[in-house]
């Protein structure tokens, strides 16, 4: 009985629809999945329905981009209440910032002599949470780059001509927003963000877990964060960060988190809700 708690669909920068993602989970014999689209929970209802049809447990979630002291950290929120108005209003703010950033990236490309219109990016993204992968796809489709990798290397990576910093909320606010929506907050792929120094203040702020297992975590990194989670009394999570096809096959299946960890995460969510009711 295994879970994968990190994946993105067409509702953000993935290429599978929520139904296709659920079907991929079935092929990989996963017992439980969470949809963690960037800055949106709009795909959750559809994926929940398909998972129910397939007999797979589904967890509502999202991935927020946050920071402390200039250090970027991605915060996953699990067991989010899908109708929490305050949470939804904040997601809309983050989505607008993403859309504004697409306009800024297109303008930067144009200044650099690359004739890409923001509208071409929106036409490809067809979602409220567009990101750099959509700009890369638009560059490829317009024949301005051969591959997405080339688009990132030439234009979109940090400090390249069309790189525009992303709007980030404070990690403290991210944790509070997630808790307010009945969810649990988890540090995503810490090895990728090299954010160990900010883990103590995150613990102080009530972070609930660490994503110990991730496609791009080495075995040593996973063990390092498992030990840290145990020492700090935090939940252990893991996920593939599947965005659809990657070099011919999806990343899904690469991470197999025992579902017992999902039960512990769920118990924490229940405790947060009970505490909110008692307050």
First to last CA, the chain: 36
User: Shortest Cβ distance from residue 81 to Fe ion (Å)?
Assistant: 22
Q: Does residue number 140 form part of the binding site for ligand AMP (CB under 6 A)?
A: no
Contact 240, 255 (CB under 8 A): yes
User: Shortest Cβ distance from residue 101 to ligand AMP (Å)?
Assistant: 7
The number of residues that bind ligand AMP (CB under 6 A) is 10
User: Shortest Cβ distance from residue 147 to ligand AMP (Å)?
Assistant: 9
Q: Which is nearer to Fe ion, 131 or 182 (CB)?
A: 131
* Residue of the chain from 74, 132, 168, 189 that contacts ligand AMP (CB under 6 A): 132
Q: Does residue number 14 form part of the binding site for ligand AMP (CB under 6 A)?
A: no
Q: Which is nearer to Fe ion, 74 or 137 (CB)?
A: 74
Query: Residue 132's binding partner, choosing from ligand AMP, Fe ion, Zn ion, none, with beta-carbon cut-off 5 to 8 A by kind?
Result: ligand AMP
Q: Does residue number 37 form part of the binding site for Zn ion (CB under 5 A)?
A: no
Give the separation between CA 135 and CA 265, rounded to whole angstroms: 35
* Residue of the chain from 241, 250, 257, 269 that contacts Zn ion (CB under 5 A): 241
Give the separation between CA 233 and CA 246, rounded to whole angstroms: 34
Q: Does residue number 250 form part of the binding site for ligand AMP (CB under 6 A)?
A: no
Q: Which is nearer to Fe ion, 184 or 188 (CB)?
A: 188
Q: Do you know the residue count of the chain? A: 279
Distances (CA, A) of 279 to 80, 86, 273: 19, 18, 10
| Nearest partner of 257 among 221, 220, 226, 224, judged by Cα | 226
Contact 17, 109 (CB under 8 A): no
Q: Does residue number 57 form part of the binding site for Zn ion (CB under 5 A)?
A: no
The number of residues that bind Zn ion (CB under 5 A) is 2
Give the separation between CA 205 and CA 202, rounded to whole angstroms: 5
Q: Does residue number 128 form part of the binding site for Zn ion (CB under 5 A)?
A: no
Q: Does residue number 182 form part of the binding site for ligand AMP (CB under 6 A)?
A: no
Residue with the shortest CB distance to Zn ion: 241
* Residue of the chain from 149, 197, 223, 274 that contacts ligand AMP (CB under 6 A): 149
* Residue of the chain from 97, 140, 148, 232 that contacts ligand AMP (CB under 6 A): 148
Query: Residue 192's binding partner, choosing from Fe ion, ligand AMP, Zn ion, none, with beta-carbon cut-off 5 to 8 A by kind?
Result: none
Q: What is the dihedral of CA 236, 237, 240, 243, to 10 degrees?
A: -140
Give the separation between CA 105 and CA 3, rounded to whole angstroms: 36
Residues between 36 and 75 with contacts to Fe ion, criterion CB under 5 A = 74
Contact segment (CB under 5 A) with Zn ion among 57-65, 98-106, 200-208, 222-230 equals 57-65
Chain positions contacting Fe ion, by CB under 5 A: 13, 74, 188
Site for ligand AMP, rule CB under 6 A: 13, 38, 131-133, 148-149, 152, 166, 243
């Amino acid at each position: 009985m295994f879970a994968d708690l990190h994946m993105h669909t067409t509702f953000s920068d993935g290429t599978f629809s929520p139904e296709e993602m659920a079907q991929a989970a079935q092929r990989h014999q996963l017992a439980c999945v969470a949809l963690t689209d960037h800055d949106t929970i709009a795909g959750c209802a559809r994926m929940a329905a398909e998972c129910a049809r397939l007999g797979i447990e589904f967890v509502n979630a999202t991935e927020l981009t946050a920071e402390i002291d200039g250090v970027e950290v991605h915060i996953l929120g699990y067991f989010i209440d899908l109708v929490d108005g305050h949470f939804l209003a904040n997601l809309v703010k983050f989505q607008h910032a993403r859309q504004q950033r697409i306009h800024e990236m297109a303008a930067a490309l144009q200044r650099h002599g690359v004739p890409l219109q923001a509208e071409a990016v929106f036409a490809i993204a067809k979602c409220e949470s567009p990101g750099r992968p959509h700009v890369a796809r638009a560059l490829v489709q317009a024949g301005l780059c051969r591959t997405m990798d080339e688009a990132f290397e030439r234009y979109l990576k940090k400090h390249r001509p069309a790189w525009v910093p992303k709007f980030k909320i404070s990690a403290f606010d991210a944790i509070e927003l997630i808790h307010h929506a009945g969810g649990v907050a988890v540090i995503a792929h810490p090895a990728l963000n090299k954010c160990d120094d900010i883990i103590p203040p995150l613990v102080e702020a009530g972070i609930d877990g660490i994503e110990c297992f991730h496609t791009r975590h080495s075995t040593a990194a996973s063990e390092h964060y498992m030990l840290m989670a145990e020492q700090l009394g935090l939940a252990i999570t893991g996920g593939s960060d599947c965005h659809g096809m990657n070099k011919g096959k999806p990343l899904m299946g690469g991470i197999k988190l025992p579902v017992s960890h999902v039960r512990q995460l769920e118990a924490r969510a229940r405790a947060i809700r009970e505490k909110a009711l008692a307050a």
